[in-house]
């Protein structure tokens, strides 16, 4: 099961607390101003999440737009969950759907024998601003798996969603961390 996380922890920003009750009731009445306000509150956070996964700006904007279309259709059905949780779940599903074919074509049971304990510390000590372009430069599948894991999804959840073993997921994560460590330290890239 997906672990529910605060959006702030996912993208490292402090959000202002918003009373969604009034906004949601207005959105249910198709109030365009309320929809726009809700979009303006939630979209920057979701943009930041999508940006870590997406291969480029076009994909980021496309996933964001599709996510909010689905979001507004869903809340019009009377969905009662928090808008932040709804949009977060939709965004992650849209990302997975967007890259589904790519994931299938690149998926293989990889064996990465070296768990790099040092990589976790190096990544942790790197600012989010410096880390984002490095994460974006990872190969697509490593980037997606690494981000899902970083967002708190379990190995079991990730493996089921990309149709591989938990062992393979763990190896992709370790390989991504090792690659990030090399990029942070400006070490030469070697074939793994």
Q: What is the CATH number of the domain that holds 16?
A: 1.10.1740.10
Range of the domain at 130: 104-184
The answer to the question of residue 1 being in a domain is: no
First to last CA, the chain: 32
Q: Is residue 192 part of a domain?
A: no
Predicted local distance difference test score (pLDDT) of residue 107: 58
Which of 98, 131, 157 is where one domain is finished? Answer: 98
Q: Are 90 and 15 found together in one domain?
A: yes
Is it the case that residue 108 has pLDDT exceeding 80?
no
Read off the pLDDT of residues 33-88 as tens digits, 9 standing for 90 and up. 999 999 999 999 999 999 988 888 899 999 999 999 999 988 877 667 889 999 99
Indicate if the pLDDT at residue 149 is higher than 50.
yes
Chain centroid to Cα 113, Å, comes to 26
| Number of C-beta neighbours around residue 68 at 10 A | 20
Both 90 and 14 in one domain: the answer is: yes
3-state SS of 9-61 is HHHCCCCCCCCHHHHHHHHHCCCHHHHHHHHHHHHHHHHHHHHHHCCCHHHHH
Together in a domain, 40 and 63: yes
Structure-model confidence comparison of residues 96 and 14, the more confident one:
96
What's the Rg (C-alpha) of the chain? 18
Report if residue 27 sits inside a domain: yes
Q: Are residues 16 and 77 in the same domain?
A: yes
16 and 51 belong to one structural domain: yes
Taking residue 132's Cβ as centre, other Cβ atoms within 10 Å add up to 16
From 98, 124, 157, the end of a domain falls on: 98
Number of domains in the chain: 2
Residue where a domain stops, chosen among 98, 128, 149:
98
Write down the pTM of the prediction: 0.64
Flag whether 76 is in a domain. yes
Q: What's the mean pLDDT when you consider all of the chain?
A: 81
């Amino acid at each position: 099961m997906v672990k529910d996380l605060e959006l702030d922890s996912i993208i490292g920003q402090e959000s202002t607390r918003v009373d969604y009750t009034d906004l949601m009731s207005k959105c249910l009445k198709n109030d365009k101003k309320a929809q726009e306000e809700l979009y303006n509150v939630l979209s920057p956070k979701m943009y930041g999440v999508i940006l870590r996964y997406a291969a480029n700006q076009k994909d980021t904007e496309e996933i964001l737009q599709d996510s909010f279309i689905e979001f507004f259709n869903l809340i019009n059905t009377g969905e009662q969950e928090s808008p932040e949780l709804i949009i977060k779940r939709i965004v992650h599903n849209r990302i997975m759907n967007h890259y589904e074919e790519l994931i299938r074509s690149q998926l293989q049971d990889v064996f990465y024998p070296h768990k790099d304990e040092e990589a976790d510390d190096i990544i942790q000590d790197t600012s989010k601003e410096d880390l984002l372009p490095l994460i974006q430069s990872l190969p697509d599948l490593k980037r997606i798996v690494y981000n899902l894991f970083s967002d708190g999804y379990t190995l079991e959840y990730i493996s089921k969603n990309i149709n591989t073993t938990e062992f393979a997921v763990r190896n992709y994560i370790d390989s991504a961390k090792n690659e990030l460590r090399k990029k942070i330290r400006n070490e030469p890239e070697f074939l793994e």
